[in-house]
Amino acid sequence: MRSRPAPLAVVKIGGSVFERRADLDRLVGALAGRSVILLAGGGRLADAVRVAQTDLGFSDALAHRLAIDAMARSAEILENLYPDCRAVSAAEAALRMIRRGLTPVWGGLGCFLDRPEIAAGWSVTSDSLGAVLARDVAATDLILVKSAEPPAGADFAALGRAGYVDADFALHASAFSGTVRFVGPADYDRLSAFLPAGDLAA
């Protein structure tokens, strides 16, 4: 009999959530002691890249790299704000943090660069990168925490057309074999209930 994969969730907290500290506190607190890897969106730092690109006209490829760097800075912000959050850049390090009761925050954003399956442009944001990370680390769940509620009954492609997720999310989410869930403000207080049950093997 094949063993079931150990429960592990990648939880992406959208950058816009960072604009409300009380919400961020609740969400990060809900992850404490759970089998999760936290991925931070770029938020206003990534928005600044968009503005700079509009003003200066540099390439989408450079904007992509700068937006990913903004996500790395968001990871540093989480590590600074929350003592139990620790930046990691490898799955093995993340698992060690989880076993110590800490919350690993993915800081190794370079893993998303120069990969042919990841478009270097604005069609890929932290939504798609969350799906890529979930696949890379063999997670069982991908949870995307958003500042808006998901449109009811929409599939991944429809969510992309509606602008709720990035344009390439359907492509990357379809390559992930686990469960995908969206969490909007109405469900922030229930986030812990959506996390996979069970513990990682020691």
For each of the chain's 202 residues, which pLDDT tens digit applies?
Answer: 345 568 999 999 999 999 999 999 999 999 999 999 999 999 999 999 999 999 999 999 999 999 999 999 999 999 999 999 999 999 999 999 999 999 999 998 899 999 999 999 999 999 999 999 999 999 999 999 999 999 988 899 999 999 999 999 999 999 999 999 999 999 999 999 999 876 654 4
The SS3 call for residue 104 is strand
Q: Domain holding 104: CATH number?
A: 3.40.1160.10
Residue 4 lies in a domain: no
Residue 198 lies in a domain: no
Which residue range(s) make up the domain with 61?
9-188
Residue 196 lies in a domain: no
User: What single string gives the DSSP state of each residue in 14-83?
Assistant: PGGGGG-HHHHHHHHHHTTTSSEEEEE--HHHHHHHHHHHHHH---HHHHHHHHHHHHHHHHHHHHHH-T
Residue 22 lies in a domain: yes
Residue 159 lies in a domain: yes
Indicate the number of domains in the chain.
Answer: 1
Q: What is the pTM of this model?
A: 0.94
Residue 201 lies in a domain: no
